[in-house]
Structure 1
Amino acid sequence: MEPGRRVPSVRNDADSDTDSTAAPPGGLDVSLIAAQRLIGPEQPQESAVQSPLSRLRRQVRKVRRAVQYDRHAFWRRHPLRQGAVLYESFSGNGALCNPEAIFRGLIADPEFAGLTHIWALAERGVAPELEAEFADDPRVTFVRYRSSAYYRALATSQYLVNNATFPVEFSKRPGQIYLNTWHGTPLKQMGFDMPGGALDSANTLRNLLAADFLLAANDFMAERMYEDAYRLDNVYAGRIITEGYPRIDRQRLTEAEVVDVRAALGRSGAALNGRTIVLYAPTWHGESFNRPEDDIDRLIDDVRELQRAVGPEHIVLLKTHQVVHSFAASRPELRSILVPNSLPTNVTLGVCAGLITDYSSIFFDYLATGRPIVFFTPDAAEYAETRGTYFAAEELPGPVTEDAATAARAMRELLANRHPAPRYAEWQQRFAPREDGSVTKRVIDIVFRSKTAGYDVRPARNDGRKRLLMYLGGMRSNGITTAGLNLLAELDHARYDVTVLMAYSRRRWHVANQALIPHEVRQLFRMGGMNGGKLEHLRRKVDERRGRVLHAESRRYKALWDDEWRRVFGGARFDWVADLSGYSPFWATLMLHSPSVPRAIWLHNEMAADRHREVNGRKHMLHSLGRVFKLYGEFDRLVSVSPRLTELNRSELVEYAPADRFATVRNLPNLERVSTRLRQPLTELDGHPVDPETEQALVPGWVDELEAHHGTWFVSVGRLSPEKNHERLIRAFGLVHERHPDARLLIVGAGPLKDRLKAQIDAAGLADAVTLTGAYQNPFAIMAAADCFVLSSVYEGQPMVLLEAAVCRLPIVSTAFASVHDALPDRAIHVVGQSDAALAGGMLAFLNGEVPRSSLDIDAYRAEVAAEFSAIVDGESADARGPATPPGSASPQPAL
């Protein structure tokens, strides 16, 4: 076959195979940003042959991480310090926002004179005024972010107050009280509302679920952000406080305080000269939190134009985003107008006559002053497309413009006329209704005095749906991932509140499969590693290797696993938990440490045979599946994906679990996905090789041949691993090719046997007739273009690919394995024996017109699987449901 031709690449920047942990604009997982600054920029992927320097750096990073985890574990073994309060703002980038307001409220209250206060700061000097003010107060200490003292405070303080996120290793201990105040009512879309929001806000969601209290400035923030955007409804176990923002109390300044603040601005370099202050406070617009300096040049130009047009009687001061501030402070052009990071934002707002902003939530705070707001949004269209906002420009409580001079003139007019903009009063009432100067006292009453009577404190909404948690597996493009995604697509989301758990990854294949998760499903990610000392984990792993995995045999490690559950899920509540993968002892063990609810684990194959599967002479799953088997007895349901598999697994795994716990839930095809994708032009498939220089896709020669459709095309789709027995398929096809030289075979997939199969094809002289295509995100278009589907497996679960082939209406030839006869309800498969000759005979039968097209009554099949799944989730036994539904017949249960 010809090497290929070039077409414009279908890849884009989002397809790059990187694993960056930096949050995008507005995700504000600033603990990740600060962590990245401490450990240095992400290194490029290391080549197979590493230089000595690369190996040394890698070892240094490993040692650094080990030391960090050990010191964290050391402090977590110490008792809590009653009365200790840890405050953190933006990962230590200052002593700011609501945490500072609460700190000042507590320290001024005689009732709380016994409290000790600890501020986490990224480095010395980020809060010089506060450090100087309390330098001699024995109740107040300052610790460097991620230092040993920081981990001590994080692990042992009774109270934790944060306006963003603690780092990924944080896990709230029993007895700790965590107040997350967040840092503003959102105008920008947040959480799952953002494009790519599930990954981008992973650590944020983890922190919110861990918090005992979430502070909301208003009802919109509580409902639209916490409950909707971050999907806290139904699962959040804490309380939402909707009493306003403590930091806004600080905007109410006396005349003497106004004089002091203006003097502080003057000392920082601002030449006020008696002029009124107009504050320009844009949000961050850069492309990466790793390059915040991208914003600076544009800011300089904007401020100059604003100052020119607003007039000499006013001075425009700049308040930058936390991520940008240190870079802005280094530019001489900005030093005379830059508001110092150490001056609280709300105190600054208290002396400003007007505010110019874009998408920053700062304007919600400023509404409480009743003073004018102008919205300067030069990149409105681009921002709306890439990030999105909750309100259209015409809804905002002030003039909106894309031009700096126009924004400044609008502000000048508002200041001169003193007439509020349309909708201003309405927005004040909606978003700042409780800002009466006493919010700090009310929040302290609720959190520190446990007084809730008469205050707006409530649990998150709960609509009564059953809460399901499912671990999806590694998210590689394989049958298990497909089965899980298809199940999620078919669930009745009006009946079930569904959460899926995955490992945190930005690898291309992971993101591509994650994007297929239905939008109704809440996504949680396990970030970072388990807490606990390295020696402790070494002992755990040695014991597990020796087969000591049952809870009764590993009570010494129960605290480790319980802590990991809390680290990942916080206080989230679920009614039913399942491991949909079923192959990892780590994830199975984690699921078993959920609070006491029914637990299920999926068995996708004849598991005893899978355990002994050999790849390149090694049984890679011998020990890991052996550990999983020992956990079976602690699951309430062991779910096989076909009735025949259930029988096999029940008999072969009887020593690990009682027979009555084995059940069946068959796999489901995603009819809509298959039907849509099978029409995609073959030249546009994601999976073609790419020219590294031009980044153009190189369309392989087999694509042109298949589109021209010369001869008869057989296709097989599956991982290149021993149980699929592609070696037999190639030998059988060789027999067919001798009699039908125009026949062709495509084997779609990737796996460890690629090189061996390629060598076999070459040795048999079949290089022009048999092609290993590699893996494709959309194999359905290839299947639909072929003539007959062939499966040569030694054993399988319920092969999803057979259901998909039936949706494509392909004739199917398959070897006989335990579950093949119930792989399709109408048994529309030409089944042959487990030999080269038998498989060749099946393909020849197709060529002779003896194998008809397959079909699938999808509605009836969905109903049957819905009944199976509902019985598992609702705890119904097979006997209670009556006799099994005959294949192909309808069930009274219409949806999962």
Structure 2
Amino acid sequence: GHVTEKYINFIMNGNNAVNVRSFDNHKPNVVVYGGGLLNNGITSSLINLSKNFDYDKYNLIIVDKNKVNQEFEANIGRLSEKAHVVYRNNGLSLTYSEWIKYNRLFNRSSVEDIKTHQIFVAREWKRLLGNTQVDRAIDFGGYAPFWSYMMAFSKAKRKIIYQHNDMQAEFDKVVEGRYVHKKNLTTIFEFYKYFDYIASVGKLTMEQNKKNLSKFVSNDKFVYVPNLLDKEYLFNHRNNPQLSIKEVLGEEKLIIEEASEFGRNMLVGVTAPTKNAKNFVTIGRLSPEKDQEKLLFAFKEIMMQSNDQHQLYIIGSGKEEKKLKTTAYVLGLEKNVIFVGQTVHAMEILDKCDLFVFPSNHEGQPMTLLECLALQIPVVATDIPGNISVLEDQNGMIVDNSVEGLVGGMNRYLAGEKIPSSLNVDQYNQDALNRFYALIE
């Protein structure tokens, strides 16, 4: 069809053979970097925002580096179909002298000339979005210096960066002997002053971040905007269950995936929830700050004190998986601890369990606790600001952040103590949306 020829003639020679159409619908463009679209709470929050977003008033444009992997593509597929996704390929278009200035900023974490970086950023947005304007710029992740840079030095009317955690704790986090976020956050903290709002996802988390990071930015910029919930994701399984229980080699299995090819049946299943004891569950990325190892030690204590064959479901994936499985084996829990892995059926499995136990050491606003409240699953959670901000005095049981604290909470539940758990999802989402729109107006 001579498409390339037509475009070259249009660009180089002014030939009008190409039909140019404008897609400007005169709505403000809210441009969001979503945090990499990994399997984590930030991605869940972004997906929920995309599904609750007011597309009649704004355009939502989600930007990210183009990645070819199953995890990224699956999460892209979970976004609202109304959201626009733009992929970034290649690097910045800079001259040699400009590269020196750009690299000096990131190496020294110091901004020497604001206007220079505004020019760099405007050029890159032009490359990515053409004539589409960045009217509102949101770094929804808060961990990637490049995207913080792109939002902070844009010409957007409102610029917002999210804090999904206690960021000082994230700054200090060590995994396998190295600081995993220290270098990136050193740079990002220096960018805070160029944003209009620093948005934590919980009130107590905001207070913690304000206390620890006020040297980087004035206190009046710290706000909080709760994450949104996706009602379809939460409740769809109750009307349309996807999981089934089948007997495999004399044992009941909860079938998570099932496929048939040329007469060959393939099943992926885990031990079915027990009817003769309690089914404990936790959901989250398998990483040090989530501290599922502490829960394993607590569960061992529970099993030693009980004659019942309780079960513990651990849903999620991450770098700590091998270590956690080794710990479970050493503790003799391999028959009672079920590592489910990453699954789209987390809510359906959660709904089949009796008690959610959350051993995390620091959180912003844990989505899994909100999901438990929505499903009315009782919760035992550690005494940290993020958990307290969700449960407050009305729901769940807050316990000391220790093995002993978790054991005490689980034993109180086993002894019959009632743990309240409820949430009006519609009202919660509306309140969260009101806070969000107040920032981008």
* TM-score normalised according to structure 2 size: 0.89
Partner of 2:211: 651
Q: Aligned in 2, Cα 1:538/1:764: closer, same or farther, shift over 3 Å?
A: farther
3-state SS of 2:345 partner: coil
1:90 aligns with 2:9: no
Per-residue CA deviations over 1:453-502 (Å, capped at 9, x if unaligned) read xxxxxxxxx3xx44322111211111000011111212222232222222
Matched, 1:816 2:376: no
| Cα distance in 1 for residues equivalent to 2:15 and 2:217 | 43
Conservation of the 8 A alpha-carbon contact between 1:599 and 1:637: yes
> Which ranges in structure 2 are unaligned for 5 or more consecutive residues?
245-253
1:716 equivalent to 2:282? Answer yes
Contact 1:821 1:827 in 2 (8 A): no
After TM superposition, the structure 1 = structure 2 runs for residues 49-68 of structure 1, keeping only pairs within 5 Å, are: none
Give the secondary structure class of the aligned counterpart of 1:657: coil
Name 2:251's counterpart in structure 1.
Answer: none
Q: Report the counterpart of residue 251 of structure 1 in structure 2.
A: none
Change (3 A) 1:538 1:680: farther
Among all aligned residue pairs of Structure 1 and Structure 2, give the percentage whose two residues are the same amino acid: 27
- Asked if 1:477 is matched to 2:39, the reply is yes
Q: Matched residue of 1:525: which SS?
A: strand
> Closer, same or farther in 2 for the Cα pair 1:181/1:584, shift >3 Å?
farther
Q: Distance in 1 between matches of 2:164 and 2:264?
A: 38
Deviation at 1:819, TM superposition (A): 2.1
Q: Which amino acid aligns with 1:600?
A: I
Structure 1: distance between partners of 2:197 and 2:426: 26
The residue matched to 2:142 in structure 1 has which SS? coil
Cα distance in 2 for residues equivalent to 1:540 and 1:692: 53
| Residue type at the aligned position of 2:256 | L
CA distance in 1, matches of 2:262, 2:146: 41
TM superposition shift of 1:837: 0.9
Q: What is the number of residues matched between the two proteins?
A: 429
Change (3 A) 1:762 1:623: same
2:24 aligned residue (220, 230, 233): 233
| CA contact 2:137–2:156 (8 Å) conserved in 1 | no
How far off is 1:539 after superposition? 6.8
User: Counterpart of 2:62 in 1: which secondary structure?
Assistant: strand
Structure 1 residue runs without a partner (length 5+):
1-27, 29-88, 103-158, 162-177, 183-214, 217-221, 227-231, 235-461, 875-896
Residues 158 and 439 in structure 2, CA contact (< 8 A), matched pair in contact too: no
- The normalised TM-score by structure 1 is 0.45
Give the superposed CA RMSD.
2.8
CA distance in 2, matches of 1:181, 1:790: 64
Aligned residue identity for 1:662: F
Q: Tell whether 2:184 aligns with 1:635.
A: no
Q: Cα gap change, 1:694/1:536 in structure 2, threshold over 3 Å: closer, same or farther?
A: farther
- CA displacement at 1:557 relative to structure 2: 5.3
Alignment of 1:202-351 (within 5 A): 215=19, 222=21, 232-234=23-25
Query: Which residue number corresponds to residue 269 of structure 2?
Result: 700
Structure 1 residue 680, shift from structure 2 partner? 2.1
- CA deviations 1:794-814 (Å, max 9, x no partner) are 110100111111222211110
CA displacement at 1:832 relative to structure 2: 0.5
Residue 793 of structure 1 is aligned with which of 350, 353, 360? 360
**Residue 826 of structure 1 contacts residue 856 of structure 1 at CA under 8 Å; is this kept in 2?**
no
Q: Which amino acid aligns with 1:782?
A: I
Structure 1 residue 681: deviation in Å?
0.8
Q: 1:649 to 1:99 in 2, by over 3 A?
A: closer
Give, in whole Å, the separation in 1 of the partners of 2:3 and 2:101. 37
**Which residue number in structure 2 is paired with residue 869 of structure 1?**
436
**Given the alignment of the two structures, is residue 580 of structure 1 paired with residue 146 of structure 2, yes or no?**
no
Corresponding position: 1:618 with 2:178: yes
Q: Secondary structure at the match of 2:426?
A: helix
Choose which of 378, 395, 400 in structure 2 pairs with 1:833: 400
Whole-Å separation in 2 of the counterparts to 1:672 and 1:181: 46
Judged with a 3 Å threshold, the aligned counterparts in structure 2 of structure 1 residues 755 and 768 are, in CA distance, closer, same or farther, namely same
Of the candidates 85, 92, 95, which is equivalent to residue 530 of structure 1? 92
One-letter identity of the residue aligned with 1:769: N
Deviations 1:671-700 (A, max 9, x none): 1221114632155636x9x99999964423
**Cα distance between partner residues in 2 of 1:628 and 1:692:** 50
Contact 1:825 1:856 in 2 (8 A): no
Measure the CA separation in 2 of the matches of 1:787 and 1:482: 23
Query: What amino acid maps onto 2:286 in structure 1?
Result: L
Give secondary structure in 2 for the equivalent of 1:468.
strand
Change (3 A) 1:759 1:536: farther
Letter in structure 2 aligned against 1:574: V
Match for residue 733 of structure 1?
A: 299
Q: Give the alignment partner of residue 571 of structure 1, picking from 111, 123, 131.
A: 131
Letter matched to residue 671 of structure 1:
K
Separation (CA, whole Å) in 2 of partners of 1:628 and 1:729? 33
Q: Is the 8 A contact 1:99 1:181 kept in 2?
A: no
Instruction: Flag the 1:98–1:742 CA change in 2: closer, same or farther, 3 A.
Output: closer
**1:584-623 deviations in Å (ceiling 9; x for gaps):** 1011101123224210011001111111111122111011
1:759 aligns with 2:326: yes
Q: Residues 98, 765 of structure 1: CA spacing in aligned structure 2 closer, same or farther, 3 A cutoff? A: closer
CA distance in 2, matches of 1:493, 1:868: 17
Please tell me whether residue 663 in structure 1 is matched to residue 234 in structure 2.
no
Equivalent residue of 2:179, what SS? coil
Report the Cα distance in structure 1 between the residues aligned to 2:293 and 2:411, rounded to whole angstroms: 18
Task: Report if aligned partners of 2:355, 2:377 keep a CA contact under 8 Å in 1.
Answer: yes
Structure with the higher fraction of residues in strand conformation: 2
Distance 1:160 1:709, change over 3 A: farther
Alignment-derived partner of residue 589 in structure 1: 149
Instruction: Give the direction of change, closer, same or farther, for the CA distance of 1:179–1:509 in structure 2 (3 Å limit).
Output: farther
Corresponding residue for residue 804 of structure 1: 371
Inter-CA distance 538–726: structure 2 relative to 1 (3 Å threshold): farther
Paired residue secondary structure (1:515): helix
Structure 2 Cα separation of the partners of residues 745 and 500 of structure 1: 37
